[in-house]
Structure 1
Amino acid sequence: MGNMTSLVDLELSGNYIVGEIPQELGLLKNLKQLELYYNQLVGNIPEVIGNLTELIDLDMSVNQLTGKLPESVCRLPKLQVLQLYNNSLTGEIPSAIAESTTLSILSLYDNSLTGQVPRNLGHSSPMVVLDLSENHLSGPLPTEVCNGGTSGSPHVSIIDLGYNNLSGQISNTIFVKAKNLSELFIQSNRISGVVPPGISRAMNLVKIDLSNNLLSGPIPSEIGNLKNLNLLLLQGNKLNSSIPDSLSLLKSLNVLDLSNNLLTGKIPDSLCELLPNSINFSNNRLSGPIPPSLIKDGLVESFSGNPGLCVSVYVNSSDQSNFPLCPQKYNKTDSTQSGQLGFQ
């Protein structure tokens, strides 16, 4: 293989190749694309891969690779795509990767990487996809990747840092220039503080998952400005205060999960206009009537664990064993709505 020095593209993915990556690959100086994903490769990533200075696309995902990510690979001057997900890589992500001016896709999820996310990651590169989920990373969230760095032209579309040990707070500044951000996943970390109102600046957000962290405070009403939002997962935090009426403005929302928080007050009647395919308000401190149109077959458990909730009228038989009828003071308030639904 070392004699094939004019080779530009080497694509051997999905061939059940076993064994270690040969050192001879480092001799293919003209190689621009190296794809070895979906095999059974073992051992370390050879340092000599860093000799492939023309390399643009490197994908060794879904193998059984171990050891550290070589710094020489992170310094490749033309590298745009680096995908090493679903391996058993260990150690820290080399800080040299933050110096790249070309990297647009970095996917290292489902490894055993440790340490912090390099502080200036995305500072100089046109990062579009950053997926470092399902590792053992710690320290604060990276902010530069959203801000577009010194280029002033943000590109990032997907950020997935879920299932790590990241801590600290979500800064408003993360969203200042994140006009192209469509998916934000930071679930199952140790993020504290509040959900920043500045999240509404990322106007193209479609999916947000901040679940299973240590977030507190209210759900910012500004989230209602995210007109394209399809998925909002905030369960498993310490969010308090009431559910904002502005959530009813999210006409594209299909999944809403606010369960296992400390939310209080009523479920806004305005959410009847929303009717997502999946909702979950369970295990909070909500009280008052459940809007009748939100109780669908099979969704009773979505309101359980809120002793103060009641129903104005029984929509189906399962309601009778789960929720009491509301006191008269609520029935008067909601009599018009209940009458329109015709359940007497």
Structure 2
Amino acid sequence: MRMFWKLLPVILAVPIGAVVAAAPAEAIANGTSVPDGRYPFAVKLIDNGIPTADGGRRDSSCSGGLVSPHWVLTAGHCFKDADGRRVSRPVAEESLATVGRTDQSGDDGHETEVVEVRQHGEADVALARLDRGITDITPLRLSRARPAAGQKARLVGYGLTTATAKRTPDRLRTGQFRVTGVEQTEMGLSGVSPKRSTSPCERDSGGPYFTEAKDGAAVVVGVVSRGPACPHTGPDIATRVDAIAPWILSIIKSDLAASPSVKPSKTTKKPAKPGGTPARTTVAAPPAGDPAALTLPPAALLSVPIVLVVLIGLLTAARGKRRYRGRRRNSAR
């Protein structure tokens, strides 16, 4: 007990932030790594054995976003034949998609196969159909409003971090951008945070630019199409989702109608292991470096001092009770 009272000033002096894990390292080009469980609608499309013009094969990948249980929104040029023409079919020997897997070296989320592709035809956008429905992740909501210059949006992607990088990082990355110009079906977006040179790179193609609605739902406003070598300042070009939303809905509407409702969530579940082990839920944290993000929610910030006050009160009461009983025993002798 005496030791507790000696250590109490030290306990109270420890900053609340000290119990929070260290911030993830930077990634996207000059972006930030995403904590486990955040933005589970993000998809990595992996193509192994893509045919080349010389008769060989190559491997590549793209990014995308889940817009219904079976369909992923991505860039049209992610599916090209050996002659470089966009095609409405998987082109690789193996076309896979990982959904809700923030860290590609882990086993969170889902690993599925791409079995069908629909090309828009004019815009650089495609829809990739998965071999099974993902029903435990809330899909992105489609924007129906024309973007405005100056509007901010967040991007997530699994691309390279520099123009000369040889492999993509395992972890999903993010950054904030601002709309710089709006055309008929496209728009320009430039990096804002964490740096002005935050920019999408190769293999971020198809990554979703999104905003958050008042109810917390993520609303996709654009799809990464093309831009200068990364990192760079100035705009990259994205396809406007509001301009092609009717086409997207014509394909995914029946899938949305047939799927069970999924409430917006900031957690993801690990798949149950063989033998009936319960799935583990990971609570998501805001991305490091986001000035609008709290390290801990307000309730958590308040709970630490409250618990300490209650603990001190109980210990004080216990000491007083023992002293009172001691006095009674002494008087009875």
Q: Same fold (TM over 0.5)?
A: no
Richer in strand (by share): 2
* TM-score (normalised: structure 2): 0.22
Greater relative contact order, per chain length (Cα 8 Å cut-off, separation 6+)? 2
